[in-house]
């Protein structure tokens, strides 16, 4: 049953009619647990609260189902507005984004232009931009674009996913660029031809790439809510004498807050991924796919 529910939520995440329908109900469907709000002001309020708790943030203006150049330009403008708002609020936050929201599937040059505009604005503030990894079909092109941008900018990083067979080789390939990587398990439904189908194999590969990237001496953002993976990363850091300024833990807004607080108290840097915006449905479905037990929040909040 859990597998069926996971597959259902992963399919819904890509369903545009369902996304439009969800907007009628807003965050009351239960997404407010995982999404900071629909406006930048609500997002900044969430960032300030997290900063007071000793956590730093990466803000993501959610934008999915982009199908026109005008929508891509508008999405890029929202990313720039997000950077402006962070600077104005003097908040401790950087920016995460998906390149499909900037026109990657429409026109590569449009996407590159949008990325450069965003990176230029971030650079003017001394801020940083993280390129989120999407599904396997976008993996190679995302890495290609990152490599091109990395030749021009020092304030850009990317995400790599442990469930893909290729990731160990990708880390080796990016090593000479001193890539700042967020390492995750992966949240998209992928074919067994490109991704480990079993959780135990994903976990083992996650450990492998955490150690690989840390020992390469490059900055690592270890993004996980799995306490076993957290403890593993801590053990590698301790065993090899890796300084705490070479890595951070990252977690999602609204998830494992006790673990977040404990790591902060232990002196680790903890960054919270805080999404916001009206296009929250796809993100919300992927969170439910990761843990179908969270579906009861939909029912509970729908009838409030």
pLDDT (tens, 9 = 90+) of the chain, 304 residues, equals 545 545 544 554 455 554 554 554 555 556 677 888 889 999 999 999 999 999 999 999 987 678 899 999 999 999 999 999 999 999 999 999 999 999 999 999 999 999 999 999 999 999 999 999 999 999 999 999 999 999 999 999 999 999 999 999 999 999 999 999 999 999 888 999 999 999 999 999 999 999 999 999 999 999 999 999 999 999 999 999 999 999 999 999 988 999 999 999 999 999 999 999 887 666 766 666 665 555 554 444 443 4
Tokens of residue 92, six digits: 């401790």
Q: Is 43 annotated as a binding residue?
A: no
* N-to-C CA span, the chain: 27
pLDDT of residue 80: 98
Tokens of residue 66, six digits: 């982009």
CA distance 59 to 276: 8
Handedness of CA 153, 158, 164, 169 (dihedral sign): positive
Q: Is 138 annotated as a binding residue?
A: no
pLDDT of residue 300: 46
Q: Note the maximum CA span of the chain.
A: 53
Q: Is 186 annotated as a binding residue?
A: yes
Catalytic residues: 132, 182
CA distance 263 to 248: 10
Over its C-alpha atoms, the chain yields an Rg (Å, rounded) of 18
pLDDT of residue 290: 61
Q: Where are the domains of the chain?
A: 36-279
Handedness of CA 55, 102, 20, 160 (dihedral sign): negative
Q: At what angle do helices 281-290 and 2-12 cross, to 10 degrees?
A: 160
Q: Is 37 annotated as a binding residue?
A: no
pLDDT of residue 242: 97
Task: Give the global pTM.
Answer: 0.87
CATH 3.40.50.300 assigned to domain 36-279? The reply is no
Taking alpha carbons only, the member of 225, 291, 255 closest to residue 3 is 291
CA distance 152 to 127: 15
Length of the chain: 304
pLDDT of residue 13: 47
Q: Is 287 annotated as a binding residue?
A: yes
Q: Which residue has the tokens 């965003």?
A: 118
Extended strands (E) in 81-127: 93-97
Q: Helix or strand or coil: residue 65?
A: coil
- CB of 12 closer than 8 Å to CB of 295: no
Q: Is 241 annotated as a binding residue?
A: no
Handedness of CA 105, 106, 109, 115 (dihedral sign): negative
User: Which residues in 121-150 are b (16+ Cβ under 10 Å) and which e?
Assistant: bbbeeebbbbbbbbbbebbeebbebbeebb
pLDDT of residue 66: 86
pLDDT of residue 35: 86
Q: Is 98 annotated as a binding residue?
A: yes
Angle at 288 (CA atoms; ends 36, 77), nearest 5 degrees:
40
pLDDT of residue 297: 45
């Amino acid at each position: 049953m859990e597998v069926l529910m996971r597959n259902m939520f992963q399919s819904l995440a890509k369903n545009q009619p369902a996304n439009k329908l969800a907007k009628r109900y807003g965050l009351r469907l239960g997404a407010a647990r995982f999404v900071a709000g629909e406006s930048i002001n609500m997002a900044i309020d969430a960032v300030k609260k997290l900063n007071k708790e000793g956590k730093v943030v990466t803000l993501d203006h959610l934008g999915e189902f982009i199908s026109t150049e005008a929508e891509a330009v508008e999405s890029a403008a929202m990313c720039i507005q997000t950077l402006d708002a962070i600077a104005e609020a003097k908040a401790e936050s950087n920016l995460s984004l998906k390149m499909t929201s900037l026109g990657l599937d429409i026109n590569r040059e449009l996407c590159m232009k949008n990325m450069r505009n965003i990176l230029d604005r971030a650079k003017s503030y001394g801020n940083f931009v993280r390129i989120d990894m999407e599904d396997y079909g976008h993996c190679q092109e995302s890495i290609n674009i990152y490599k091109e941008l990395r030749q021009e900018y020092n304030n850009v990083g990317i995400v790599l996913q442990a469930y893909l067979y290729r990731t160990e080789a990708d880390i080796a390939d990016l090593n000479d660029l001193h890539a700042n990587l967020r390492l995750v398990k992966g949240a998209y439904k992928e074919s067994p031809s490109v991704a480990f189908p079993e959780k135990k194999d994903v976990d083992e590969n996650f450990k492998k790439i955490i150690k690989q990237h840390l020992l390469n001496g490059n900055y690592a953002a270890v993004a996980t809510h799995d306490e076993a993976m957290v403890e593993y990363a801590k053990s590698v850091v301790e065993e090899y004498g890796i300084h705490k300024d070479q890595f951070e833990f990252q977690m999602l807004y609204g998830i494992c807050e006790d673990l977040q607080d404990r790591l902060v108290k232990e002196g680790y840097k903890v960054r919270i991924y805080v999404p916001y915006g009206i296009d929250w449905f796809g993100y919300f479905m992927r969170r439910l796919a990761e843990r179908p037990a969270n579906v009861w929040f939909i029912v509970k909040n729908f009838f409030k």
